[in-house]
Amino acid sequence: MTFDSLTFAVFLAFVFAAYWLTPGWTVRKVLLLVTSYVFYAFWNPFFVALLVATTAFDWLMGRALARTEAVRMRKLMLAGSIAVNLGALGFFKYAQFFADTAVDLARTVGVTFQPMDLGILLPVGISFYTFESVSYVIDVYRRKVPPSRSFLDYGLYVTFFPHLVAGPILRYGDFSPQCVVPKRFAEARIGLGAALLMIGLTLKVAFADLVFAPVSDKVFGAGTLSVADAWIGAASFSFQVYCDFAGYSLCAIGTALMFGFRFPSNFESPFGSIGIAELWTRWHISLSSWLRDYVFLPLGGYRNGRGRGAVNVMITFVLCGLWHGAAWTYVVWGAVNGAFIVAERIVRDRVWDFTRTRSPLLPWLLAFATFGLFTLAVVFFRAQSLGHAGQVLLAMAGAGSSATGPVLTVQEATLALVLGACVLVAHRLSVNVKGWDWLDDVHPAFATALLACATFAIVSSPGLGPAFIYFQF
């Protein structure tokens, strides 16, 4: 069940009506928890048991941590909880990857094994809800948040259906206060939530699926590429993954608002950024802030000098890449982003702090250059293998095999370039805009246009098109 399906439209209408017609606050939360499990069961009902088990384990572990004062025991309990959570994630997501890597390594020393197909299915959303559970246990251990006394509230924090499958990655300290005060229909931001849902659907279906995905698929599926085709295809994937994932995030945020819950913003005009470091403060914010708080800073950040700080950046981004997928292409993608940030910091510290320019034109040029670097890195994210990524990058540099002819038609290339340019300009113009509260004051004509786009999105994509990209993570 995806946000752009008629099935979800029916599901949302039923849950929305039942929720607001139910008088008791506790009963409403039970309703949301049960329907969230139903929502997850549409993907694979057998993994609901895993979700319930890990949720119960971490809830009990949080309460046990709060009751324990012995430092050594608390550390052991924290380590055990993290080991269980990451162990489950590692088994389902990385067991096949490590098995394949072991076979490849053995082959390099002359030992041949048959490839092993472990047949392990990946539970949808496990990367997201695992990070939420880990952050909760760590925050309880640090005594930043009190342990949840209510399994209902903690279960809703982990499984609330708008964010369950692909985020945003919530923090318990932000979500739990929202479970205390009963929601009132008159005070809920239902109109704003519906508008965000409409915008999200439009980004996903009208932009990502209908414009950018066909172009990137065509280019990355071709044998030889011209420089123009390679760059347009890679840039189209950059726009595709943004429209796809930002669209999902807006659908999640908007849906939650319709029930009176507020989720944090997950994208804030990332392609208006000056530098890769700034871009990562605006791109998948819930993940980048999670990695900062639970990986980079515990490693020491920049507290122990620039050299150690650069190592910490690389470790963090390699793990970021590995989190995205069990393949070396994702690992290299993370490492490339980390290397860009390290190089950028060296330039800013020793050569030129380009973020402090007063020129009105230079920030635009730097934002476009930043997008170019992002696009170079994203080739590894999209490519089928490291070799395939190398071929595309060589074509982008004009050093690849001679293309026999253009891969893209003039119409495909023009539409992708024009729409992509509109996204870049919109991001640069809105780089200082935070949140979406400004939508409350939009002109009725604009709201009508959004409704028309959302209707088109739902009708044209009855759940049979490509799923949201981040569902595989």
**Residue 381 has what pLDDT?**
95
Question: What's the chain's average pLDDT?
Answer: 89
Q: What percent of the chain has pLDDT over 90?
A: 66
How sure is the predictor about 92, in pLDDT bands with cuts at 50, 70 and 90?
Answer: confident
How sure is the predictor about 339, in pLDDT bands with cuts at 50, 70 and 90?
Answer: very high
pLDDT tops 60 at residue 464 = no
How far the first Cα of the chain sits from its last, in Å, is: 16
More confident residue, 125 or 59: 59
HSE-CB of 346 using CA atoms within 13 angstroms: 9
pLDDT tops 80 at residue 127 = yes
Q: In angstroms, rounded to a whole number, what is the distance separating the alpha carbons of residues 38 and 78?
A: 31
pTM for the model: 0.91
3-state secondary structure of 419: helix
pLDDT tops 80 at residue 472 = no
Query: Cβ(139)–Cβ(294) under 8 Å?
Result: no
**Residue 282 has what pLDDT?**
96
Q: Convert the pLDDT of each residue in 128-182 to its tens digit.
A: 999 999 999 999 999 999 999 999 999 999 999 999 988 799 999 999 999 999 9
**Residue 120 has what pLDDT?**
76
More confident residue, 223 or 236: 236
**Residue 458 has what pLDDT?**
61
For 224-237, what is the mean pLDDT?
93
Bin 435: left if φ > 0, else alpha if -120 < ψ < 50, else beta: left
Question: Could you give the residue numbers annotated as active site?
Answer: 324
Q: In angstroms, rounded to a whole number, what is the distance separating the alpha carbons of residues 237 and 84?
A: 35
Q: What percent of the chain has pLDDT over 70?
A: 93
Which DSSP symbol is given to 415?
Answer: H
Report domain extents, the chain. Answer: 25-179, 190-472
How sure is the predictor about 22, in pLDDT bands with cuts at 50, 70 and 90?
Answer: very high
Residue 370: CB atoms within 10 A of its CB come to: 22
pLDDT tops 80 at residue 19 = yes
Q: In angstroms, rounded to a whole number, what is the distance separating the alpha carbons of residues 184 and 186?
A: 5
**Residue 117 has what pLDDT?**
72
**Residue 12 has what pLDDT?**
95
pLDDT tops 90 at residue 48 = yes
Q: Convert the pLDDT of each residue in 175-223 to its tens digit.
A: 999 999 999 998 888 888 988 998 898 898 889 988 999 999 999 998 8
Q: In angstroms, rounded to a whole number, what is the distance separating the alpha carbons of residues 341 and 334?
A: 11
